[in-house]
Amino acid sequence: MSLHTPILERLRTETAPIHRQLEALPLSLVLMSPSIRLEEYAAYLAATYGLLDYIETRFFSITSEFVPDAEERKRAAFIVRDLESIGHLPANLAAKKSEEPFLSYFQYPLSETLPYALGVMYVTEGSTLGGRVILKNLSGCLDLNAAAGASYFAGYGDSTGLKWKTFLQALNTYAEGNRETEVIVKGAVDAFHAFYHVLSFKQP
pLDDT per position as a tens digit, 173-193: 999 999 999 999 999 999 999
The pLDDT confidence band at residue 202, using thresholds 50, 70 and 90, is low
More confident residue, 94 or 56: 56
At 99 the pLDDT is 60
CB-CB neighbours of 100 under 10 Å:
18
Average pLDDT over residues 37-63: 95
At 3 the pLDDT is 65
The pLDDT confidence band at residue 200, using thresholds 50, 70 and 90, is very high
Residue 41 lies in a domain: yes
Residue 27 lies in a domain: yes
Average pLDDT over residues 10-37: 97
Which domain CATH number covers 22? 1.20.910.10
67, amino acid identity = V
Residue 185 lies in a domain: yes
Average pLDDT over residues 30-41: 97
**Any residues with CB less than 8 A from the CB of 124 and at least 6 apart, and which?**
52, 55, 56, 73, 75, 191
Distance of alpha carbon 62 from alpha carbon 38, whole angstroms:
36
Residue 24 lies in a domain: yes
Q: What is the CA radius of gyration of the chain?
A: 16
pLDDT per position as a tens digit, 105-160: 999 999 999 999 999 999 999 999 999 999 999 999 999 999 999 999 999 999 99
Q: Is the pLDDT of residue 201 over 90?
A: no
Residue 180 lies in a domain: yes
Q: What is the pTM of this model?
A: 0.95
**Residue 121 structural domain:** 6-200
Q: Is the pLDDT of residue 1 over 60?
A: no
The total number of structural domains in the chain stands at: 1
Residue 17 lies in a domain: yes
Q: Are the C-beta atoms of residues 117 and 73 closer than 8 Å to each other? A: no
Over the chain, what HEC string results? Answer: CCCCCHHHHHHHHHHHHHHHHHHCCHHHHHHHCCCCCHHHHHHHHHHHHHHHHHHHHHHHHHHCCCCCCHHHHCCHHHHHHHHHHCCCCCCCHHHHHHHCCHHHHCCCCHHHCHHHHHHHHHHHHHHHHHHHHHHHHHHHHHCCECCEECCCCCCCHHHHHHHHHHHHHHHHHHHHHCCCHHHHHHHHHHHHHHHHHHHHCCCC
The pLDDT confidence band at residue 101, using thresholds 50, 70 and 90, is confident
Residue 1 lies in a domain: no
pLDDT per position as a tens digit, 80-99: 999 999 999 998 887 766 66
Q: Considering the chain, what is the average pLDDT of its residues?
A: 93
Residue 79 lies in a domain: yes
